[in-house]
Amino acid sequence: MATTTNNIVTTLSPNISGCIKVELANITARGNFGSIQPVLEKYETGLLLLLGFAGVSVILALLHQLVRKHVYHDVNNVDTAFDAGGRVSTSLTAVTVASQFLWPGDILQSSTITVKSGISGPLWYTVGAALNIALFPIVSVYLKTRAPGAKTYLQIMKARYGKPAHVIFVILALLVNLCVISTLLVAGVTTIQSYTVGASDEFCVMIIAVLFGSYSFIGGLGTTFYVSYFNAVLIFGILIALNVNILYSPNDDSGIGSIDKIYEKMECLIAPEGNAERSYFTFKSENGLVWAFMGLCVTASLTYCDQAAWQSRIAAKPLQGVLGFLIAAYIWFAIPISISTSAGLAYLSMSLDNSSSILSPEDVDAGLVTPFMAERFLGNVGGVLIVTMVAMTLMSTGSGEVMAVSSIIVYDIYQVYINPFRKSHDAEDCILCNKRLNKQSKSVDQSVTCTCPNVIACQECKTDEEINSKEGLTYIGQYRCQYHGRYRQYQERMLGYKSWCILWVTIGIVPLGLAVISSGIDLNWIMLNGFIVTLPCFPPVVLSIFWSKTSRAGVISGALFGVVCGVSVSLGVASTYEGGLDNFLVNTVQNFSVMGGAATSMGVSFLVTFLVSCGTHNIKSKNDVKREWTKLRDIDNPLHPWSQLYTEDIPGLEKGDNPTEEQLDFVFKKARILAYVGGAVTVVLFVGIVPGVMLSLHVLTVSQFEIWTLILQIFCFSMATVVVIVAPTEEIIQICRQRKENKKERRRKRRSNMSAYINGIPLDST
């Protein structure tokens, strides 16, 4: 994402070191621009991306499916397709979240921000995003304890406020996914075309669509965790190779290759207005602060309003999820800030005396600084590596979006509006028998309350499983249980629909991509204007999880007023620039247009939601509060109750029993404390200590610049170690532990069956 270029009058002044200081505008005015040379033929790009990465991803998908089938025994389960079993490890959660938040723009456009702002750009670019990633666990831990059975955050909106609010937030959620997928397509097509000879839009979009959906179709959400690890390892490997070549390998052609040479050359450049002393080596930058605010708003929309983020969180238990998201903030932070600092600053250094190789302003705004530097320092191999990095980010983020859209369609559209199991079902009624769930005293009339047994204790279900295992039959219609049989048939139909849904969402990416590319809308416009529309979703969702008095009227009016006011302010400010709204695409992404629209949409949404809820809520007592949160705890799949995940965490909880809200709060108190403490530490570090120290230095000396760059590289290497070593180690340990538990369970059943055989009792075939 690139800001508008400042119109700066070129000035010359002598430097203390003896060189003549000159602005970058003076160099680009010479008009002798270089370009990125395509290094791959179309068939080579196809082989690399389709047979290479997509092929490896399919293998990883099959591996994940085998693990779920033979270790966890839940492969034929709709919920597993969208929550990966709910037991994803801490480090794998961290790697996946970091990979899914790592967009092509983080690799491409972060260097553009460095060129426009200097060393302040990468820091401020990452601060806002890391802040949201770090604070999200505080929200998510409450989601997991108050709505442990929810697969989408939209199910919470439906349970609390009914269908009208649900419809509005489904539309907003899909708009978020639309914006994300569109930006991925634009960035992916730009990169592939820059390195591939004669690559058409259709060719690029087709490849990207295959990368998005190939392995998701096979293994569901769980596969994205395995593939995200593979992607993260490759990204860090390429990142380290690029950084080492730029910063520590002197290059005769470029005249740089060391930190001190980069500093020496950049001292002869005058930075844009707004930088302290017009220096590129200062963190006091107006442009950088603008990016910090916009990055905060963009990532708030993506973190709290994108189902892909919630999906990754739902796939882990509270403690593992909280810790995973906190670690993800550090992993993500290391990538864009290190690559943009090295590639962006090296580009500025080369720009001083290599005018024939300087990119045009359009290419810089398109995010081609990083690819250009990779090709310059690593030759054709560098081009292949950058294509690889972009492909990795496309696969991780894109597959997460495919699964997010598919889960919304399955859980919030198809199961609610198109083909519900019961058309007239109330949230407080049992989905199986349509009778009132008995949460009151035992004196309640049992004829109007649910008496369905828990699926774990249901003897008729055990009989069905015994018959199916003997006859080898699992097709629809084979279940005879009077309580769960019909719902099992419905879930099996949903399992098939899920696969078709993923397929059609993937296919739908092709016409969407062609439409976006043909419209001429760039990455910058989509992102900055997209989150103005989707950001009003953020306050109602967060308040719905934290505040029991949030009302239906509050969330609906807050979301709608936020959208209307945000768009109106953005257009109003844009109309004040030269050309007004006639120059629509340019003026609507001006800094103040975007900042005004974003601040208004989020602020109005929060205020309206809060004030209207204060006047319209029906919470009068503690019982009302308890009833409101009970709506969320009732979100469940009766065939796969969420309580099964917590039997090992809650002492004395028998299989089939639901823990109370008090039990969940007590057991996951550690997760909540970790979320608060970890979030506070991360905020203090990213927003307080690091920026405070760097701002106090005013303009960095060469020694201070060397220390800062060295710290970034050490941090990058440390996070690479976490990704490469810790994640697979923890996953293997978890699989081995589960296999050990399976062996214990089999031995227990053998002893039970032997005892039953001796006493003439029917055998336990489960």
Across the range 165-181, mean pLDDT stands at 89
- Give a yes or no: residue 206 inside a domain: no
Among the listed residues 353, 347, 314, 267, the one whose alpha carbon sits nearest the alpha carbon of residue 146: 314
pTM as predicted: 0.79
Task: Give the range of the structural domain holding residue 550, as residue numbers without chain letter.
Answer: 537-618
Task: List, in sequence order, every residue forming a beta bridge with 282; answer none if it has no partner.
Answer: 699
Q: What total of structural domains would you count in the chain?
A: 1
- The answer to whether position 431 is within a domain reads no
Q: Among 167-181, 465-479, 532-546, where is mean pLDDT lowest?
A: 465-479
What pLDDT, in 10s, does the model give residues 683-736?
Answer: 888 888 888 888 888 888 888 888 888 888 888 888 888 888 887 787 788 778
158, part of any domain: no
Which contacts of 274-277 are long-range, i.e. CB under 8 A and separated by 24 or more positions?
A: 274/6, 275/117, 275/118, 275/120, 276/698, 276/699, 277/698, 277/699
Per-residue pLDDT, averaged over 423-451, amounts to 68
Q: Is residue 632 one of the residues assigned to a domain?
A: no
Residue 65, domain member (yes or no): no
- Record the tokens describing residue 716, joined without a space: 């990058």
Q: Is residue 47 part of a domain?
A: no
Q: At residue 475, does pLDDT exceed 70? A: no
DSSP single-letter state for residue 688: I
Checking if the pLDDT of 266 tops 60, the result is yes
Is residue 404 included in any domain, yes or no? no
81 belongs to a structural domain: no
DSSP 365-399: HTT-HHHHHHHHHHTHHHHHHHHHHHHHHHHHHHH
Q: What band does 561 get if pLDDT is binned at 50, 70 and 90?
A: very high
* Model confidence pLDDT, tens digit, residues 398-424: 777 888 888 899 888 988 888 888 877
